[in-house]
Amino acid sequence: MDTLQLLIAGIANGCIYGLIALGFVLIYKASESVNFAQGDMMILGAFLAIALINTNQADLPFLLGLALAGLTLGVFGYLLDALLLRRVFGQPQLTMVVLTIALGFVLRFIIGAIWGHDPVGLESPVAGERLTIGALTIPLVDVVIIGATVFLVAVLWLFFARTRLGLAMQASSQNQMAAYYMGIPVKRVVSLVWAMSGVVAAIAGVLFAAKGAVEPSAGLVFGIKAFAAAVIGGLGSLPGALAGGLLIGVMEPFAGRYLPSHVAQVSPYVLMLVVLIVRPSGLFAQMKQKKV
């Protein structure tokens, strides 16, 4: 029973890692670089949701607050690319890496300046509720997290497989020149991917804050772990990102239970190193190597 309990808690955590890892992969495919502010965008989404939903703040209905936070982060992602990152397009990948690391610092500072540095939780309709099945007791929020992730991933999958825009996104990430001549406005499509990863970050942030308290700098460590998840899955693969997230999420509670705490903390990175040594392109790598 204990194992099952740990497993479910791990899967719920892993879902959030997976969503952020998904954001890493989306951006990696669209912009061929890594957005190291992904974790901080998630925390921004969390704090926005808290400000919109909590009773001592704007006190909006939960789903409305969630939608508004998602919308805001979506617009943020779009404008971030359209106004700033598009200007460094064509520069070495490192340019955008440094830029997004800096952006992460700025976001952490702004979040701290607006909402303070004390941990706050998001008041969700399922807070404190538990689901009891036989001897198994699961926090309802974990069930909601898993359900929401499954739903979101299903929608994303349908979007990429079926819609004209989703296919255009896939095409742009494979060959920008060819995409242009299919009539795809590649720059706008890339900005839309950024918007999408903003929305996903906000949803992950809301799920994260519904589970426990958040503070402005939480995005840093969380983002790095999610990056490890994305690398484990193979940076170019969306299913890989989710699998990597789940792997790290499930690993943590077990490592915490059965290993000394200082070992448990580094376990995600050890896993990443092992994967990089055994399968350098990640567990779910689709592409062998980019042809030059």
Partner 1 sequence: MSLLDVSNVSLSFGGIRAIDGVSFTVKPGEVFTIVGPNGAGKSSLFNLISRIYEPADGAIRFDGRDLLACQAHEVIELGVARTFQNIELFDHATVLDNLLIGRHSRRRTRWFEDLLFLPRVRREERAHRRQVEEVIDFLELAAYRDRMIQGLPYGVRKVVEIAQALVAEPRLLLLDEPASGLSMEETESMAWWIEDMQKDLGLTIVMVEHDMGLVSQVSDRVLAIAEGRPLAEGTPAEIRAHPEVIRAWLGGVEEA
Number of alpha carbons in the 13 Å side-chain half-sphere of residue 209: 35
Residue (264 or 285) nearer to partner 1, CB: 285
Closest to partner 1 by CB, 93 vs 174, is 174
Q: Interface with partner 1 includes 171 (CB under 8 A)? A: yes
Residues 183-242 that bind partner 1 (CB under 8 A): 183-186
Q: Are 247 and 31 in contact (CB under 8 A)?
A: no
**Number of Cβ atoms within 10 Å of the Cβ of 142:** 23
Q: Which amino acid is at 24?
A: F
Binder to partner 1 among 182, 221, 259, 270 (CB under 8 A)? 182
The two three-digit tokens of residue 114, written as one number: 């607006």
Q: Specify the stretch interacting with partner 1 by CB under 8 A; choose among 138-146, 178-186, 223-231, 257-265.
A: 178-186
Rounded least distance, CB 16 to partner 1, Å:
25
Q: Which of residues 131-170 bind partner 1 (CB under 8 A)?
A: 155, 158-159, 162-168
Query: Which residue do the tokens 């804050």 mark?
Result: 209
67 binds partner 1 (CB under 8 A): no
Least spacing, CB of residue 25 vs partner 1, in Å: 15
Residues in contact with partner 1, counted by CB under 8 A, come to a total of 25
Given candidates 178, 221, 266, 270, which one binds partner 1 under the rule CB under 8 A? 178
E strand or H helix at 133: strand 130-133
Helices (H), the chain: 2-31, 38-53, 62-79, 93-115, 140-162, 164-174, 176-181, 186-211, 218-233, 238-258, 261-278
Tell me which residue of 199, 168, 243 sits closest to 23, measured CA to CA: 199
Give the footprint of partner 1 on this chain (CB under 8 A): 155, 158-159, 162-168, 171, 174-175, 177-178, 180-186, 286-287, 291
